[in-house]
Amino acid sequence: MIVSDVIDLTGDDKDDLQRAIALSLEESNRAFRETGITDEDIAENKASLKRTHTEVWSDSPNPHDRKRQENCPVGLKNVGNTCWFSAVIQSLFNLLEFQRLVLHYSPPARMQDLPRNQKEHRNLPFMQELRHLFSLLVGSKRKYVDPSRAVEILKDAFKSSESQQDVSEFTHKLLDWLEDAFQIKAEEDREGEKPKNPMVDLFYGRFLAVGVLEGKKFENTEMFGQYPLQVNGFKDLHECLEAAMIEGEIESLHSAENSAKSGQEHWFTELPPVLTFELSRFEFNQTLGRPEKIHNKLEFPSMLYMDRYMDRNRDITRIKREEIRRLKEHLTVLQQRLERYLSYGSGPKRFPLADVLQYAMEFASSKPVCTSPLEDVDTTALPGGTTAQLTGEQPDTSVPAEGSGSGSQAQQQQRVSIHKPFTQSRVPPDLPMHPAPRHITEEELRVLEGCLHRWRSEVENDTRDLQASISRIHRTIELMYSDKSMMQVPYRLHAVLVHEGQANAGHYWAYIFDPHQQQWMKYNDISVTKSSWEELVRDSFGGYRNASAYCLMYIDDKKPFLIEEEFDKETGQMLSGLDKLPPDLKEYVEADNKLFVREMEEWDALQARKLQQEKLALAAASVAAQPMSTEPCPPDNTGEPFTCLNLWPYHLKQLVYDKCGPEAAFFKAMKVEYTRLLRFAQEDTPPERDYRLQHVIVYFIHNQAPKKIVERTLLMQFADRNLGFDERCKSIMKVARAKLELIKPDEVNMEEYEVSRVFLIQVCYVEALMYLIFAYQYNKELLAKGPYRGHDEELIAHYRRECLLKLNEHATVLFETGEETEVNAGLNIMNELVVACIPLLLVDEMEEKDMVAVEDMRNRWCSYLGQEMELAFFLQPSHTRHICGEFVILLVHAHNDHSLS
């Protein structure tokens, strides 16, 4: 077996990695060019891969890694661009009143008699799947559960099931389906009476639209669910609400005479227990022809008082709005005056007036001088008469008569004159280095200093007064609605749904408040962790990375039943876990828990068997290392194709050797070993246990190698000096060496049968990445020679991709710490490893999983920059280092600007 291009991993591994990447890129680029793929194809492929930040990762094979910790909420698995589903469902599930309604929902008894259009809507089947999902979130023993069935029913209602869904559209459809499902049940339960729909009571409110249309007044009552709010141009939630409640010219509403102007006001007449605001953070850029996300900062309170928007407070609110309008007008005037003090001047550059007066005072107080800055400067240092030009004198342009001494002398002087800038210009020692007045009397200085000092004091006092007045007005506006009469309708923040990314792609998660633990929780797909108000503010207000809230869910703080736990009517004990479920769902969850427990038991049994096999193998190896005369009979076979002579049965070895001699024993051993390996070659095994990775003979048998190749390899095995355990083995080894010498080098071509071996072991990810880069490319070349020459390409590609994703995740974790050393380490990993290896995943076969992984890494780093980095950049391997440097510079600026620490 010949191995070429061996890399030494004992020293600095950076150069080796770069060599590995370069070699792999060279081959990949050639293959890429041969495919004829164009930049347009790449752009189209990228457009088809719009996705969320979180990829659909496979479950851990160890079920104990997927076991729910005690009292920890259950997460939801992302089953393909479904983080939007997880964020909304978890927010609703943690509304305990909504949770109870879903869990105790029972389908209509006359379901078969329903109109056909109701069945086509699939709302009742979805309701059943939602019940199952909620029951698992309540009582599952799993850390996270799979929502695939409910998601698939929902996705059928959308135009496309591949792209990331619009969350607002999904939420509207979800509530519509739930409303329809409960409406059907309500009509069945209350025949002849007006049915009461709990979904409507929970999520829908009413407002009164009061306005004027072309001079005619009107009043309309309308129902609303999720209330949309514009974000652009506003600094907090109240400003958004104020703008949403007034449309058009509203002055005509308050005047007795008719007006041609049109406008309207909205006044809430009935607020729902669950008040949801949609924050419109996406707008369409007409110039670019694409949607864009608004990253502006928008603040919102944890406690929101809605009194000022209620119809019953219409008169007092109008008075306060008028007062605020007047204060804001006055505020604008004061701010303009203050700006004139802070930015003084008539030119493009402006400075604070107090500083200008201070500078003038400093100039006047400087020591007066009588010397011009241009005097006493060596004129020979300035060629071409530039001194005259600088002093304002006209140069002498007269030409001396031919042959005159002065002319000749002038020409000679001009020839020998050498320009020495900076060395021949000398400043008089008494000339100050800063500007100063030429002449100023003591009287002038005294008068000027007095005026400037007085003026500066006046300016500073005026500036302070303006700033104080502006602060008082701001404070007055803030406290305008702080009296108790306007704080009677409190709504507490229940959930914040966050989007991170750009308009066409990104990731969703939710912050949800746990009132019983008084703790904010972060629900991020399968991950459910404790959080804080500070983390929520950072990720939700906007302006930090590309993350911001797109939906706010408030609940009526005077209706505790929304979040109250349920108690047993007989015992008075709080219900938890399976006790909260109706009988059918309790049975459903118990069955799923039994399956999960069985999975853990089977895993434990499998691991125990593997451990026992390892112990037996170690024992066999230990026994085989003892002298032959005293060793006991080893096991007949371990079931693994180890290359080891001691696996030949002890009694057979001794019998044949003693009866027929070493040569007969050699031939018998050769036959036993070849038969054993042939059996392994005929077995079907999964890729990770392929016996070709265990023994080269199995590899040769699969590839139908010539008999001479197999024979020579077997002889090399028996000629190995490490198998000389005793005199019998040494004698057999000598026979093997003699037979090996009889085979001439030109009879076999071993280079034709080089072997690619892949060791999937737990090593440093940097080392593993180098192994996998070489293994993937070398294995690809072997596969080109025959179907069995190499290993399963997808397996190696999977581990190469996983390794790179692990390194990228480690780099982002370091970067997010904000510590300088950690940030630098993270950038170094991204610089030297991640970006450098991305072209391998993009170019090679254009596999969808690799493209998705690259999009995942790109979105993660672009979220720190607050800007897109086109995927096409990474498809030019010759530009990789340049792109990497540009990326690092941008990230350093992003780190400094946002102060991650």
Residues noted as catalytic: 83, 499, 507
Residue 682 DSSP symbol: T
Q: How far apart are CA 451 and CA 629, in angstroms?
A: 116
Q: Treating both helix axes as pointing N-terminal to C-terminal, what angle do 793-817 and 820-829 enclose, rounded to 10 degrees?
A: 160
Query: b vs e for 588-627, b when ≥16 Cβ sit within 10 Å of the residue's Cβ?
Result: bbeebbeebeeeeeeeeeeeeeeeeeeeeeeebeeebeee
Residues 257 and 242: beta-carbon distance below 8 Å: no
Q: How far apart are CA 26 and CA 252, in angstroms?
A: 74
Q: How far apart are CA 661 and CA 653, in angstroms?
A: 10
For the chain, helix, strand, coil in percent to 5 are 55, 10, 35
What is the number of other CB atoms lying within 10 angstroms of the CB of residue 229?
Answer: 18
Separation of CA 706 from chain center: 53
Among 507, 550, 543, which residue's Cα sits nearest to residue 894? 543
Q: How far apart are CA 231 and CA 293, in angstroms?
A: 11
Residue showing tokens 């800038």: 421
Residues 221 and 208: beta-carbon distance below 8 Å: yes
Q: Treating both helix axes as pointing N-terminal to C-terminal, what angle do 765-783 and 793-817 enclose, rounded to 10 degrees?
A: 150
Residue positions counted in the chain: 901
- Give the sheet arrangement for strand 246-248, strand by strand: 216-224, 205-213, 263-270, 246-248
Q: How far apart are CA 874 and CA 890, in angstroms?
A: 16
Measured between alpha carbons, how far is residue 353 from residues 333, 342, 445, 462 in Å? 18, 6, 20, 11
In sign, the C-alpha dihedral spanning 452, 457, 461, 467 is: positive
Give the amino acid at 357: L
Among 751, 756, 750, 834, which residue's Cα sits nearest to residue 800? 834
**Which contacts (CB < 8 Å, 24+ apart) does range 187-195 have?**
188/108, 188/109, 188/110
Q: How far apart are CA 238 and CA 629, in angstroms?
A: 92
Among 275, 204, 312, 225, which residue's Cα sits nearest to residue 556? 275
Measured between alpha carbons, how far is residue 69 from residues 64, 142, 361, 511, 597 in Å? 10, 8, 72, 20, 14
Residues 737 and 662: beta-carbon distance below 8 Å: no
- In three-state secondary structure terms, 657 is helix
- In three-state secondary structure terms, 3 is coil
